[in-house]
Copies of this chain bind each other. A is one copy, B any other.
Amino acid sequence: MKTTIYDVAKTAGVSVSTVSKVLNNTGSIGEKTKLKILDTIRKLEYQPNVVASARKRLQTIGFMMPSIANPFMAEIARVIEDYGRQHGFSLIICSTDNDPEREKEYISILREKYIDGIIIGTGLLNDKSIKKIIESNIPVVMLARDVPSLAVDAVFVDDFLGGFQAASYLIELGHEKIAMITEDLKISPARKRVEGYRKALEEAGIKYDEKLVIQNNVTYNDGMLASEQLLKVPSPPTAIFASTEALAIGAIKRVRELGLRLPEDISIVGFDNTMFGQMFDPQITTIAQPIYDMGQKVMELLIEEINEPKKVKQRIVMTPELVVGGTTAKKK
């Protein structure tokens, strides 16, 4: 049988409430009593049961995202986990594959389990579900996703600027025919990145060409296919901006298979800057999200919100940064 607070109380010859006070550092207790209790706790190897006290929450938060197998999410999960642990929180992972059904299921599970807060980094989640969480008074922070219509804390990079930076850099290198491979445009970050890309083109006097934007890609295999589609035409683009790292890598592989030289014949820019992109050979030129800062900030907001719910919510927009690797070069 597991040791309970009653066992400790009995062995130490005091009442449970006294033990409880020692445990939680509340009320006032005599020095000797405290020492004696602490001692019996050690002797009995007593471990308080966090679950039992219904009013206390579980010191656990949920992290909803497309998939923990996605390097960007895994890396940010690591940051969130660390920061959380330092403040006494555990992390439950919830991979949704952007499936609304799965999202609803997870929200329901998290509510049942009396989670203290939720980080939402998943894509298609319809606003209704989010509203429900907020209404049920569970602290929420959005990660890498903006929901302008909702009063909710959020941390994300300026995706528009990221898209703008990527295209601008390619334009600077002399490229004029610049294609884009992107995820589903219903996902807000992807859409913003395309908008930024478009803006950069137009400012440079290059006409935006819908045919050069290949949509609805997710895996690196999609990146390969999209890249093939773009390149196997007369007068293909000389540069590609891929809205994720996986897509960039897929594109690169196909480029090479087609016998084109990288970066001499074609330049490629990615997004995220995870270990994947950094370890790739050559390192991928990419628009970096500040993973560490984002993870840190998102937990900071969530913990604040857990400790004392605020009326005024914050939306924190971070700046993406161009990291030049070896996948881009001046246009010949």
Evaluate contact between A281 and B280: CB separation under 8 angstroms. yes
Shortest distance in angstroms between A195's beta carbon and chain B's nearest beta carbon? Answer: 28
Chain B proximity of A5: nearest CB distance (Å): 12
A48 and B112 alpha carbons, distance in the complex (Å)? 6
Is A78 touching B82 in the complex (CB atoms < 8 A)? no
Chain A positions 241-294 with a Cβ under 8 Å from a chain B Cβ: 246, 249-250, 252-253, 256, 275-276, 279-281
- Checking B2, B48, B78, B108 against A68 with a beta-carbon cut-off of 8 angstroms, the contacting residue is B78
Copies of this polypeptide in the complex: 2
Using CB atoms, name the residue of chain B closest to A256: B281
Residues in A57-84 with C-beta less than 8 Å from chain B: 58-60, 67-69, 71, 74-75, 77-78, 81-82
The residue in chain B whose Cβ has the minimal distance to the Cβ of A105 is B85
With an 8 Å Cβ cutoff, the count of chain A residues facing the other chain is 48
Report A113-160 residues with CB < 8 Å from chain B CB. 113-114, 136
**Complex contact B58–A81 (CB within 8 A):** no
Determine if A75 and B69 form an interchain contact, defined as CB atoms under 8 angstroms apart: yes
Q: Which of A78, A250, A279 has the most CB of B within 10 A?
A: A279
Instruction: Assess whether A92 is interfacial by the CB under 8 Å rule.
Output: yes
Of B74, B92, B94, B136, the contact of A60 (CB 8 Å cutoff): B92
CB A252 to nearest CB in B, in angstroms, measures 6
Within 8 A of B (CB), among A219-238: 220
Tell yes or no: A93 within 8 A of B by CB. Answer: yes
Contacts A2-B136, A276-B276, A279-B246 given: A47-B112 contact, CB under 8 Å? yes
Task: Offer 15 A-B interface pairs, CB within 8 angstroms, sorted by A.
Answer: A48-B112, A50-B114, A51-B51, A58-B58, A60-B113, A68-B78, A69-B77, A69-B275, A81-B93, A81-B94, A90-B109, A91-B93, A250-B279, A253-B279, A276-B279
